[in-house]
């Protein structure tokens, strides 16, 4: 497990919506720091342009980020950001459905898109000589998307099937969805990125057109280009293809602050699967605008970094405390995982999940997890253990900067969350100063029952011999998807 900006983004992975990232990373090429782009300029219409030059390989990565994700959706219309992402491949005024992808493939390139709680992203990786054409094509659909009724009716069925396969028929994804919906009562982060099925069934083409018209404005976009490119050429092409777009007033984003939790929340779930598992979610900070500066003297910043260090101390495959005790020594668990949600505009959670070995009860595993965290809160960690984690973090940061995709993604996500590019370097500065007392403090402060939502998953026979029924819950939630 790595720390720093490579948070284990369990919420996004469980949603099954971020796709196509494997295989798009460039060969390691000693990139500059995220905090030091070759060019960082905002056009008159509000479009921010970042360029990271590197000459090692004749390739270019082109990304457009929209500051609009599931956190911006309203009740009854969840899944809109993701549905619009699908429709972005269904044609423009001059491109037929599917033609965008065919043209990128003809250029020898790769392309895809992803939706998250905070944003929607589109990317292409091509030979440097094809960059101008790729920018033209992307600008075409950012400006002149054609949202056709027939195409919408077909694509909404695709999205619903995606939900069935990746969530409804996936025990871990279904459990994660239920866990988050119980952990948060007000904040829209409680809604799944892919949307509730009932909402998908009732979305209209008007909803999708309105989403595009509302959020796809130049003053709500970030353009990032990395690779063997010339920054001034990229800027000129950005002005050529995006400069005539008109900035538009954006809706006021209401905070929808989550009320304080004052007691453990519990939920149970049954579904066909092989193993029982436990999911624990503690309220935890995210790297967001309201966090304040990342500095060694800021307690909030130290807490954020210390929590990510703690995740590695708990679940590292070779040396993690939960891994060693539960998996290697006692063999009471098949696997363990821990991680925080990282950079986000909304509130976050620190997750711990444990897959039980046959015959082991979930309450006993929960007790053991809490025992290990209590030990850290009481005794901290020794210097050798802490030094190892810091070395892992530093090495991870170097390798991240070697990847065009990771570099561009880190930069855009920081800006979209209201942060600055300087946070990339500041993170390591804070990390270097983290001490055992920091880990003791966060273990005692955040890992308390008043901030806990726990889910117990009971497997049903895979042959369907047992019918799925209602599982008990502190809030009476059904065992299936909540609508």
Count of residues making up the chain: 483
Strand, helix or coil for residue 269: strand
Question: C-alpha distances in angstroms, 50 versus 37, 53, 58, 149, 308?
Answer: 6, 10, 19, 35, 28
| Integer Cα distance of 194 and 73 in angstroms | 11
The arrangement of strands across the sheet holding 452-460 comes to 265-272, 452-460, 277-284, 348-356, 333-340
406 CB-contact burial (10 Å; exposed 0-12 / middle 13-18 / buried 19+)? buried
What end-to-end distance do the CA atoms of the chain give, in Å? 34
The structure tokens listed for 194 are 């892919």
Q: Which long-range contacts (CB under 8 A, 24 or more apart) does 473-476 make?
A: 473/182, 473/266, 473/267, 473/268, 474/182, 474/265, 474/266, 474/267, 475/182, 475/265, 475/267
| Integer Cα distance of 86 and 100 in angstroms | 12
Closest CA to 241 of 102, 121, 141: 141
H or E segment to which residue 42 belongs: strand 39-42
Residue 113 gets which letter from DSSP? E
CB atoms within 10 A of CB 374: 13
The structure tokens listed for 257 are 């602050």
Does the annotation count 85 as an active-site position? yes
Residue 282 gets which letter from DSSP? E
Catalytic residue among 9, 73, 85, 111: 85
Residue 167 gets which letter from DSSP? I
Residue 328 gets which letter from DSSP? I
Residue 305 gets which letter from DSSP? H
CB atoms within 10 A of CB 13: 14
Asked if 187 and 256 touch (Cβ cutoff 8 Å), the reply is yes
Asked if 369 and 280 touch (Cβ cutoff 8 Å), the reply is yes
Question: C-alpha distances in angstroms, 34 versus 154, 156, 334, 420?
Answer: 40, 37, 37, 10
Catalytic residue list = 85
């Amino acid at each position: 497990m790595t720390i720093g900006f490579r948070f284990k983004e369990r919420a996004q992975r469980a949603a099954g919506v971020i796709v196509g990232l494997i295989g798009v990373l460039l060969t390691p090429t000693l990139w500059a720091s995220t905090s030091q782009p070759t060019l960082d300029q905002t056009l008159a219409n509000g479009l921010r342009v970042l360029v990271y030059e590197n000459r090692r390989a004749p390739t270019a990565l082109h990304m457009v980020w929209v500051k609009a994700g599931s956190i911006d959706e309203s009740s009854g219309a969840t899944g809109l950001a993701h549905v619009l992402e699908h429709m972005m491949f269904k044609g423009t005024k001059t491109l037929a459905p599917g033609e965008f992808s065919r043209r990128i493939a003809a250029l020898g390139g790769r392309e895809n898109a992803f939706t998250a709680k905070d944003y929607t992203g589109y990317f292409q990786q091509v030979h440097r000589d094809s960059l101008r054409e790729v920018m033209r094509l992307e600008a075409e659909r950012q400006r002149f998307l054609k949202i056709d009724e027939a195409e919408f009716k077909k694509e909404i069925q695709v999205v619903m099937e995606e939900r069935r396969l990746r969530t409804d028929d996936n025990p871990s994804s279904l459990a994660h969805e239920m866990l988050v919906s119980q952990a948060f009562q007000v904040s829209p982060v409680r809604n799944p990125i892919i949307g509730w099925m009932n909402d998908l069934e009732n979305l209209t083409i008007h909803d999708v057109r309105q989403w595009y018209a509302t959020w796809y404005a130049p003053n709500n976009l970030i353009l990032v280009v990395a690779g063997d490119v010339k920054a001034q050429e990229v800027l000129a092409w950005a002005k050529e293809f995006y400069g005539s777009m008109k900035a538009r007033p954006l809706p006021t984003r209401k905070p929808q602050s989550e009320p304080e939790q004052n007691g453990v929340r519990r939920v149970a779930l049954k579904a066909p699967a092989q193993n029982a598992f436990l999911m624990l979610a503690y309220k935890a900070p995210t790297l967001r605008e309201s966090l304040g500066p990342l500095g060694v003297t800021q307690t909030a910043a130290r807490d954020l970094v210390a929590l990510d260090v703690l995740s590695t101390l708990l679940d590292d495959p070779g040396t993690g405390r939960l891994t060693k005790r539960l998996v290697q020594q006692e063999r009471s668990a098949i696997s363990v995982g821990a991680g925080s949600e990282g950079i986000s505009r909304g509130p976050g959670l620190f997750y711990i999940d444990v897959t039980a070995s046959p015959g082991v009860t979930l309450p006993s595993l929960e007790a053991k997890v809490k025992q290990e965290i209590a030990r850290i809160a009481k005794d901290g960690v020794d210097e050798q253990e802490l030094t190892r984690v810091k070395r892992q973090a530093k090495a991870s940061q170097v390798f991240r900067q070697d990847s065009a995709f990771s570099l561009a993604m880190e930069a855009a996500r920081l800006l979209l969350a209201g942060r600055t590019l300087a946070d990339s370097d500041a993170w390591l500065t804070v990390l270097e100063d983290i001490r055992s007392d920091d880990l003791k403090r966060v273990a005692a402060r955040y890992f308390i029952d008043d901030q806990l939502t726990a889910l117990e998953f009971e497997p049903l026979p895979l042959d369907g011999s047992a019918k799925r029924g209602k599982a008990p819950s502190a809030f009476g939630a059904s065992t299936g998807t909540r609508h």
